[in-house]
Structure 1
């Protein structure tokens, strides 16, 4: 009987199962973080490019918003381009700046994830001032 209590036969299966579950959870968390950062950086890039396009001489803020939507549709998906808006702000020095706002959901892998979405902005000085 004492010989049977000290035997480790079969414990490798349990160790492998527990370790695999933990490693899978860590992998999914790192994958979720990487995917969210990729989407955020892509949205910032598209918003900035839309602001630069809309701030050109002979262009309008609506064209900048349309450019940002088009870039987001090509880069990610149409569901990320639904919350694109533009506005013109004046800085303290009296310079007009075109701001392209993008509000988009966070991509979630699995049942858990953040409930808030991304709110990113791209800015560019208006050329016609």
Structure 2
């Protein structure tokens, strides 16, 4: 019983770690895409590189980027849909979705 409880706590910790890594990668990708001299595709590439290096390519398969003004100013939104780790890094595909925003920079 104690072993099962310990493994469950470790799995919960891994799930939280993966979620935080994917979210931080989305934030980094959004800020990179929002730079005045980069494109939206550069933000997707940056996010994909970070996620692939840290938790694996399976978590970097579905990354979307868009320009939005939902927050009252021009912004870039990066959304990552990734598996939710249930047993180790194996998990439910597309069960976890995180998004990040960054204000768009300009040369004006």
TM-score under structure 1 length normalisation: 0.75
Secondary structure of 1:117's partner?
Answer: strand
Matches within 5 A, 1:105-120: 105-109=83-87, 117-120=95-98
Pair 1:70-2:43 in alignment:
no
Quick check: which one's strand share is greater?
2
User: Aligned to 1:122, which of 82, 89, 100?
Assistant: 100
Matches within 5 A, 1:57-96: 57-91=36-70, 93=72, 95-96=73-74
CA apart distance, 1:97: 0.8
Structure 1 residues without counterparts, runs of 5 or longer:
1-21
Coordinate RMSD, CA, aligned: 1.9
CA apart distance, 1:91: 3.0
Structure 1 match to 2:5: 26
Structure 1 match to 2:25: 46
Structure 2 residues without counterparts, runs of 5 or longer:
none
Q: C-alpha separation between the residues in 1 aligned to 2:47 and 2:68?
A: 18
Task: List structure 1 runs of 4+ shifted beyond 4 angstroms.
Answer: 113-116
Larger Rg: 1
Q: C-alpha separation between the residues in 1 aligned to 2:92 and 2:45?
A: 28
Q: Deviations over 1:32-75 (max 9, x none)?
A: 10000000000000000000000001111111011100111111
TM-score under structure 2 length normalisation: 0.89
Compare relative contact order (CA 8 Å, sep 6+) and give the higher one, 1 or 2: 2
Matched residue count: 105
